[in-house]
Amino acid sequence: MPQTLSEQILSNAAGRHVRAGDIVTARIDLAMVHDSIAPSVIRILHEELGAEHVWNAGRIAVAIDHVAPAATTQTAESQNRLRAWVRKEGIQHFFDAGRGIAHQVLIEEGLAQPGMLVVGSDSHSTAYGAVGAFGTGMGATDIALALATGQTWLRVPETIRVQARGRLRAGVTAKDVALRIARDLRADGATYQTIEYHGFDRFSLGERTTLTTMAIEVGGKAGVVPPTGLALADRSVPNWLRVEPGATYSRTLEIDLDELTPQIAEPNHVDNVVDLRDVGRVNVDVVYLGTCTNGRHEDLAAAARILQGRRIAPGVRMMVVPASSEALQLAVADGTISTLLAAGATLGTPGCGACIGRHMGVLAPGDVALFTGNRNFRGRMGHPDAQIYLGSPEVAAATAIAGYIADPREVVAVEPRAESSTVIPLMSS
């Protein structure tokens, strides 16, 4: 019987042919732990499970990314204990503060590969599906068990197929696709299911990651893009991993890329999505560009193309936090960072930044933010009386210029007010 991509990957991990609904014990290829949950994981590993050491120090990645650099003495002490534990265990893949968000870094480093089963102590571990892996987030106890044994158990999920047709127009992005999926499926529409993204061969690896990081926002257990197209040309794809005609899907969602327009998630739910043109005039205080969903070099560059020769509006604060040090280095090398700084943006250390409301740009009461991240829950980025709208990097740049939520296709048609009159045109995917 033909299998979905999840069924193929979990069959390989379980050592037997599996179908949706089966309960399996599966071999883990890679486990990730980040700083915020690491203390609980380590305590459970040693005290409750009685494990003296991790099962395989070469198949574990640890990242300090959620509060990086440390914002309090308590956090600094906790992170130092984590560093000591990493040294004691001989963990080979350790990414200290400043290297970036674990999901982005594991993809950059080639640790996540097609066909792998990757578990992480973060809900956005669905990101690894961008390379054709089965990535999923788990709580502290399940991650501790994975570290101790190299195995996990799970129910093989059913799969929803998202079928895209056509091509994105200028000013419309992968983020708009992800928000449109949330709009159509709703927050619980893919609960404990995998989303398979078909028709995205032209998408870059970064664009695919935008899609897969947001699979969890509709309840997905995982999100997997078939490992085909130029974006995966440099990765080795197992010969058993491929789209099989006749595989069983719980439903198919059609997305017409030709007709898609910029999307906005209004407060306070990710699935509260409307066309940008229907938002009305919403003045903003903060524009925040970053996170594992939209903090890559291509995201920063997309914003810079719109901001080139322009200044952000008076009264608007724009925060830019690259997803990784690699993204930052690329953005420095090609002038992207200079353009953003010249426009009036502020640059933060690569990492999660204010996405979880812990530091580096948290919101005050009454603040209105346009955020390129993945969640706009009440209190997510700071005070519960702040309002968070989600949009693409291009929308973020246009909004920073206008001072209110704006369509990038309209902003680029206006001559820059600064000394330069050159605007690099928006690129379609």
* Number of other CB atoms surrounding residue 145 within 10 Å: 24
> How many independent structural domains does the chain possess?
2
In a domain, 356, yes or no: yes
- The residue from 204, 235, 256 where one domain ends is 256
135/234 same-domain check: yes
In a domain, 42, yes or no: yes
Does position 422 have pLDDT exceeding 80, yes or no? no
175/277 same-domain check: no
200/220 same-domain check: yes
In a domain, 427, yes or no: no
168/23 same-domain check: yes
297/197 same-domain check: no
Amino acid identity for residue 370 in this structure? L
What is the band of 412 on the pLDDT scale with cuts at 50, 70, 90?
confident
User: What is the pTM assigned to this prediction?
Assistant: 0.94
Phi, psi of 149 (to 5 degrees): -120, -20
183/278 same-domain check: no
> Tell me, what's the pLDDT at 419?
37
Q: What is the pLDDT of residues 370-380, one digit of tens each?
A: 999 999 999 99
C-alpha angle 195-372-397 in degrees, rounded to nearest 5: 135
SS3 assignment, position 290? strand
In a domain, 424, yes or no: no
Tokens 């590993």, residue located: 45
Classify residue 186 as exposed, middle or buried by CB count within 10 Å of its CB (0-12, 13-18, 19+): middle
- The residue from 256, 285, 307 where one domain ends is 256
What is the band of 99 on the pLDDT scale with cuts at 50, 70, 90?
very high
In a domain, 422, yes or no: no
235/206 same-domain check: yes
279/245 same-domain check: no
What is the band of 68 on the pLDDT scale with cuts at 50, 70, 90?
very high
239/96 same-domain check: yes
Structural domain containing residue 322: 265-411
238/272 same-domain check: no
Q: What is the pLDDT of residues 303-350, one digit of tens each?
A: 999 999 999 999 999 999 999 999 999 999 999 999 999 999 999 999
SS3 assignment, position 150? coil
CATH number, domain of 229, equals 3.30.499.10
Give the pair of three-digit tokens for residue 209: 């990651």
β-strand partners of 180 = none
Mean pLDDT of 284-298: 98
- The residue from 232, 256, 280 where one domain ends is 256
277/250 same-domain check: no
What is the band of 357 on the pLDDT scale with cuts at 50, 70, 90?
very high
What is the band of 416 on the pLDDT scale with cuts at 50, 70, 90?
low
Q: What is the pLDDT of residues 141-153, one digit of tens each?
A: 999 999 999 999 9
Q: What is the pLDDT of residues 165-201, one digit of tens each?
A: 999 999 999 999 999 999 999 999 999 999 999 999 9
61/190 same-domain check: yes
Distance of alpha carbon 209 from its chain centroid, rounded? 6
Q: How many CA atoms lie within 13 A of 383 on its CB side?
A: 10
For 61-65, 263-267, 287-291, 410-414, which range has the lowest pLDDT when averaged over its residues? 410-414
What is the maximum alpha-carbon separation in the chain? Answer: 65
